[in-house]
Homo-oligomer: A and B are copies of this chain.
Amino acid sequence: MPKRVDHEERRARIAEALWRIACARGLDGASLRDVAAEAGISLGQLQHYFASKDDMLVFALEHISDLAARRVGERLRGLSGEPSPRDVLLGSVREMLPLDDKSRTGHLVQIAYFVRAVHDERLRRHAKEGVPGLRAFFAGQVREGQARGEVAADRDPEVEAALLIALVDGLASYAVLEVWSAEEALGLVAGHLDRLFGVR
């Protein structure tokens, strides 16, 4: 057999090139030739690693959501000792806002996929399966807040979790459009959390 190459590593490199293009011109503006050029490889080589454009798109989506989940996990592990539910939620939310360039890129890619998901059953399933997990995690934190007496007992954790997710997502979208800055968005959601956690 000839020399062996780490396929996953190559595919990851190509996916990152795709993100750079999608971030600048959108997913529909990313042709196979563009991505290959951005990755510094030939079109033939790209096609060697992805049988079709759709394969490339799906792989890149899974890869980026893996990385995003890892980032959130690391941030939460980085919280000192016994973090309060409020801190956990704020930390998670911080990772969901385009606060730095890397995060902004991730958001632009996410948006590119969002649009495609509207018309693509396969991608839509991705979103439908991913949200409940995040919602359950947020709801758990709210419940923990209730157990500590920081959150009013009559709040429905599931409802608060959904509200928080939708709120952050809306704030992030407008931040990407530069209607307001990511820092303003963070301030707004922090205020929302303050009210939820009864600091008032």
| Chain A residues near B (Cβ < 8 Å) | 24-26, 28-29, 108, 111-112, 114-119, 124, 127-128, 131, 154, 159, 162-163, 165-171, 173-174, 176-180, 185, 188, 191-192, 200
Contacts and interface: CB of A to CB of B under 8 A. Distances in A.
For this chain, the copies found in one complex come to 2
A95 B191 CA distance: 26
A167 B166 CA distance: 6
Contact of A173 (B162, B169, B180, B192): B169
B169 A174 contact: yes
A26 to B, nearest CB: 5
B108 A118 contact: yes
Contacts of A159: 188, 191
A166 B170 contact: yes
Contact of A166 (B115, B176, B188): B188
Contacts of A166: 167, 170-171, 173-174, 185, 188
Contact of A26 (B108, B119, B179): B119
A130 to B, nearest CB: 9
